[in-house]
Amino acid sequence: MSHIVHLSKDKKLQKILPAENPHVMVKRKNIHLHLCNSIMSQQLSTKVADVFQQRFLDLYGGKSPTAAQIVATPFETLRAIGLSNAKANYVLNVCNFFIAENITDAMLHKMSNEALIKYLTQIKGVGQWTVEMILMFTLGREDVFAVDDLGIQQAMCKIYKIDNTDKKAMKEKMLQISKKWSPYRTYACKYLWGWKDVTPPPPPPDKIGINSGGTEAQ
């Protein structure tokens, strides 16, 4: 696959590529729902996040709800599945925005990465990291680099021997390294997440986040 050939030019990254099956990008529907799920899953383990998402779908008979159906759901019903006040409000913010803007999946699939980040981060509760996850895992964009993701930070600091005590300098170094992965930076992130899942990270000097491969560094 072309992304493997390209990423293998980075000798340090090349060492971790054979550990996983080649990744394939997938484009998905119901973007509003994936955005809601991303919000609900933040700062949770994958197992706990799956439980929340199933509880959420159960509210709608196990089917994917429309933005209008979610907005029509009583606030206390959303709270009752275990969502915090903030997350419940953010989920409603997403759906109200999609309704007000008359957003369709086709519309978002046509937008550039930069335009989509600027557009969706207008929603209170949706940050750049959240939109980057949507770009990667829902829209199937191949060239996204999540510099603020804790898992990516930990993996790159270990592989490339980056000092993580100075967060600004760390991110600058990460961005510099990632440039040579373009136009396949999403694939690189996926391999880094996969490698980190089986490789214990070095203990950070302070708390910079919570989970890997699904959590924004704090």
**Residues identified as active-site:** 149
Element (H, E) at 10: none
Alpha carbon distances (Å) from 79 to 127, 166, 178, 206: 22, 38, 40, 32
Least Cα distance to 62 among 50, 54, 73, 70 occurs for 54
Q: Which residues contact 74 (CB under 8 A, 6 or more apart)?
A: none
Torsion of CA 175, 180, 181, 185, to 10 degrees: 30
